[in-house]
Structure 1
Amino acid sequence: MNKSDEQEPVRDAPGRGPGSRATREKLMAAAAELISEVGWGRVTTRAVAERAGLPLGSVSYHFRGKQELLVEACTNAFSDAVPFEDFAAVAGVSDLIDLIGAQLGHELETTPTLTRLMFEAMREAERDEMLRERLGTMINGYRQAVVQAVRADQQQHVIPATVSAEGVATLVTALGDGLLLHALLDPGTRVTDTLDALRTLLGLPSGSRP
């Protein structure tokens, strides 16, 4: 490994102002692409800068080393692909299941760059505590938004109040991730049927089919 490639001097945080957002976005987008293409451990700052069309020094100017860049790139890509506002805006669990179905359909119909990025991040999170905490915080945020949707259904007596709202929220969000994994490994996985089965188990009306 070229020592100058990975150990550029790092500029302090005060040097990163609002005007640098576009540059940071370019670097994070390039890093996310490279993680999904070559794997987390094989990404270099030089390759990121080249992909972004920026000088190598821009990486160390905006990020405290390669690992911070990759962590930021990963979490930024996830939040862009699955906007928190979409989850927070659902009126109930049935709408949430429709949202999950639509997102799964989009990911399965396109080149799953985001999925490869997710797998790389999961592996890296076993070794990197910062990444694990960032992803855990993000997942918890989405889950808490789902909890509110479950409680709204409970107030309308759609879902029994005796069922844990946190438990239902965890079940629904984990099912979405698990279904994506199954469908990628086994194209014969019947995603829509699975989501309909979840609705039946929760006592919800049949939803719209993607």
Structure 2
Amino acid sequence: MVSPAAERGRAVRERLLHAAAELIPERGWTAVSTRILAERAGVTPSVVHYHFPSLPSLLNEAATGEMRKMLAGLNELLETTRSPGDAIETMLASVEQYTGADAASLLFVEAYLASTRDDALRERIAELVAEFRQRFGGWLERHGVPAPLETAAVLAACVDGLLLHRGLGLQANDPSAVLRRLLSTAPEEERQCEQ
């Protein structure tokens, strides 16, 4: 049984993480201060440092926690998908809600940018992406896709790139058809190269 004090502490910690995930896209990573974060979460600034060793560690956890949720949802969707072509459709459909200017997109862009200056954050994001690529590569392998890990890496990078382009107001014409074509012609091209 969890004590009431432990439950309150967990709730405060979650409020702080939620507040950070809201503030990062609203203000930008470097503009989130302990005071602003505490105000948003409805606590005193000292409570922030009681629950987290530093403001950067709190921001890192908030951003990577949101990334983990998004990737977990994508993994669940892939498990209900029947073919590699359908997997592309599923991946693209799952990110359709992200415009590049929405809060989640901005949070991820801010985190990627901050990771260029923060080794711990970069390692955490890299671990999340590597785990997703590994799971997706395993799924592709079970579905007979050649070079499944390499294919997973490129497809994941394509989806990330498409999202970044959306933030610039650039749209790709039917990316699903292009990615399906790449996925379906890869074995044929390999056979032609071998002859």
Answer yes or no: same fold by TM over 0.5.
yes
The aligned amino acid for 2:159 is G
**Aligned counterparts of 1:137 and 1:87: Cα–Cα separation in 2:** 20
User: Any unmatched runs of 5+ in structure 1?
Assistant: 1-15, 205-210
* Residue 196 of structure 1, aligned match among 144, 169, 177: 177
**Aligned counterparts of 2:76 and 2:7: Cα–Cα separation in 1:** 26
In the TM superposition, residue 103 of structure 1 has moved relative to its aligned partner by: 2.3
The aligned amino acid for 1:27 is L
Q: TM-score, normalised by structure 1?
A: 0.77
Matches within 5 A, 1:42-81: 42-81=31-70
Cα distance 1:69–1:123, how it changes in 2: closer, same or farther (>3 A)? same
In the TM superposition, residue 167 of structure 1 has moved relative to its aligned partner by: 0.8
Identical residues among aligned pairs (%): 33
For 1:124, the equivalent position in structure 2 comes to: 114
**Aligned counterparts of 1:131 and 1:35: Cα–Cα separation in 2:** 14
**Aligned counterparts of 1:88 and 1:101: Cα–Cα separation in 2:** 11
Residue 104, structure 1, aligned to residue 95, structure 2: yes
In the TM superposition, residue 40 of structure 1 has moved relative to its aligned partner by: 1.1
CA contact (8 A) 1:28 1:73 kept: yes
**Aligned counterparts of 1:21 and 1:88: Cα–Cα separation in 2:** 31
User: Any unmatched runs of 5+ in structure 2?
Assistant: 186-195
In the TM superposition, residue 88 of structure 1 has moved relative to its aligned partner by: 6.0
- Where 2:143 maps in the other structure, the secondary structure is helix
Cα distance 1:95–1:145, how it changes in 2: closer, same or farther (>3 A)? farther
- Segments ≥4 residues shifted beyond 6 Å: none
For 1:21, the equivalent position in structure 2 comes to: 10
Q: TM-score, normalised by structure 2?
A: 0.82
What are the Cα deviations for residues 51-97 of structure 1, in whole angstroms up to 9, with x where unaligned? 11222222111100111101001101112233254266254433321
CA contact (8 A) 2:38 2:45 kept: yes
Higher helix fraction: Structure 1 or Structure 2? 2
* Residue 141 of structure 1, aligned match among 125, 131, 138: 131
Task: Count residues in correspondence.
Answer: 179
